[in-house]
């Protein structure tokens, strides 16, 4: 029997037969996530997989196949992580490991998102009623427990090595550094990062005391504090840590001109985010639709950072000014040969119409 027959529910099947058909679609998703030759997963594929899951769930007596299908899906994800994903990553080292780990995790999240959509019937009528972990939760937990936990110490060493190289003035791949601080071990990373920062500067201070005069020592210490403050501010912004940003602002508010430096770091962060969006739009098709998408994304970004200003940055006027100046710098950028300010004006006119 093929997938079409199952999706239409033309005849009753057993669990093994239904799972074999479903697994073929899952295999296609995996091949895509691994970058192997495979046609894109499209709407028709989604309909077929969803229908196959639905048909399998309702075939058994009293919906008995729902429980079996749920367990099969969980076991299959665990086996895939252990037998395929982890071995392919464990052979990597240094930045190659971190780069491949970040890539794998990003692709895995996309695959899990598709699986969750296709298994939506199982979630609505079985998982939710029994308060079980969702397919999305299972997928991300499997990656964390069976892949990342086994590699996180190696990945952590690579991230810290990148940060130390940047502290020494070397140009590094900041996108890799940002993505390498993956959300599935952020707390664990912070603990190691704080310990490493202390060790790094403890060694530096010991050398400065022996070789530098008191004024030179103070200048170096001030420069390091400024760098770490800017780095910490960018990290908190990237992690949506509004409460921590608020604490940071209250702390630096007590220092003369302390908030000016934090506001400057905030402004540079916003400019970088705007520039990235503009660059993505330039790289994509230069159509009116793409330009409208860009403007919408920039408006959403402005609204998001206005929330930071109101809450995380204690609604201070310095941060209102920093946000305003950051977006003003974007207005003179061009997208597809058109000034961003003109695109914004056209977008506003269309909304009014």
Rounded to whole angstroms, how far apart are CA atoms 13 and 58?
10
Reference 163, options 172, 153, 155; nearest CA is: 172
pLDDT digits 0-9 by tens, 165-185: 877 778 888 777 777 666 555
Rounded to whole angstroms, how far apart are CA atoms 78 and 74?
6
Over the chain, what is the mean pLDDT? 78
- Strand pairing partners for 339? 334
Task: Give me the pLDDT at residue 281, please.
Answer: 65
Residue 197 makes CB contacts below 8 A (sequence gap 6+) with 228
- In the CATH scheme, what is the code of domain 3-151? 1.20.1310.10
DSSP assignments along 253-295, one per residue: HTSTTHHHHHHHHHHHHHHHHHHHHHHHHHHS---HHHHHHHH
Rounded to whole angstroms, how far apart are CA atoms 332 and 327?
10
End-to-end CA gap in the chain:
54
- SS3 assignment for 213-234: CHHHHHHHHHHHHHHHHHHHHH
pLDDT digits 0-9 by tens, 72-81: 999 999 999 9
Rounded to whole angstroms, how far apart are CA atoms 22 and 202?
57
Rounded to whole angstroms, how far apart are CA atoms 233 and 179?
16
Q: What is the mean pLDDT of residues 139-154?
A: 90
Model pTM above 0.85? no
Please check the confidence at residue 4 and state whether its pLDDT lies above 60. no
Please check the confidence at residue 54 and state whether its pLDDT lies above 70. yes
Rounded to whole angstroms, how far apart are CA atoms 163 and 323?
27
- Topology alike, domains 3-151 and 212-352: yes
Question: In CATH, which of 3.40.50.10320, 3.10.20.30, 1.20.1310.10, 3.40.50.12780 is domain 212-352?
Answer: 1.20.1310.10
Residue ranges of domains in the chain = 3-151, 212-352
Q: What is the mean pLDDT of residues 142-158?
A: 88
Rounded to whole angstroms, how far apart are CA atoms 238 and 211?
37
278 contacts 333 by C-beta, under 8 angstroms: yes
Residue 13 makes CB contacts below 8 A (sequence gap 6+) with 1, 6, 55, 56, 59
Rounded to whole angstroms, how far apart are CA atoms 321 and 76?
53
Q: How many Cβ atoms from other residues are within 10 Å of residue 39's Cβ?
A: 9
Reference 26, options 91, 84, 101; nearest CA is: 84
Q: What's the token pair of residue 187?
A: 């707390």
């Amino acid at each position: 029997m093929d997938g079409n027959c199952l999706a239409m529910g033309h005849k009753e099947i057993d669990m093994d037969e239904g799972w074999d058909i479903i697994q073929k679609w899952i295999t296609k998703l995996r091949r895509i996530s691994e970058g192997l030759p495979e046609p894109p997963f499209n709407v028709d594929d989604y309909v077929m997989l969803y229908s196959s899951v639905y048909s399998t769930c309702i075939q058994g007596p009293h919906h008995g196949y729902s429980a079996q299908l749920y367990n099969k899906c969980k076991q299959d994800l665990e086996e895939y992580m252990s037998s395929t994903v982890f071995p392919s990553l464990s052979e990597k080292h240094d930045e190659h490991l971190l780069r491949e780990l970040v890539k794998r995790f990003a692709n895995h999240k996309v695959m899990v998102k598709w699986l969750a959509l296709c298994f939506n019937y199982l979630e609505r009528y079985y998982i939710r009623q029994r308060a079980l972990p969702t397919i999305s939760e299972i997928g991300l937990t499997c990656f964390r427990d069976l892949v990342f936990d086994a590699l996180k110490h190696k990945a952590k060493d690579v991230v810290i090595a990148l940060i130390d190289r940047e502290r020494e003035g070397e140009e590094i791949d900041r996108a890799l550094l940002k993505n390498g601080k993956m959300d599935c071990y952020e707390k664990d990373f912070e603990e190691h990062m704080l310990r490493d920062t202390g060790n790094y500067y403890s060694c530096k201070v010991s050398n400065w005391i022996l070789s530098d005069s008191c004024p030179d020592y103070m200048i170096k210490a001030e420069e390091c504090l400024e760098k770490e403050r800017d780095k910490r501010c960018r990290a908190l912004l990237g992690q949506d840590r509004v409460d921590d940003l608020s604490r940071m602002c209250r702390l630096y508010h007590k220092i003369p001109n302390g908030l000016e430096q934090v506001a400057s770091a905030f402004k540079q962060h916003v400019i970088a985010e705007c520039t990235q969006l503009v660059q993505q739009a330039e790289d994509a098709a230069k159509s009116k639709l793409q330009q409208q998408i860009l403007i919408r994304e920039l408006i959403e970004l402005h609204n998001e950072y206005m929330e930071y200003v109101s809450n995380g940055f204690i609604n201070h006027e310095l941060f209102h000014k920093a946000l305003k100046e950051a977006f003003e710098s974007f207005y003179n950028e061009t997208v597809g040969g058109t000034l961003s300010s003109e695109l914004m004006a056209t977008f506003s006119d269309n909304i009014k119409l």
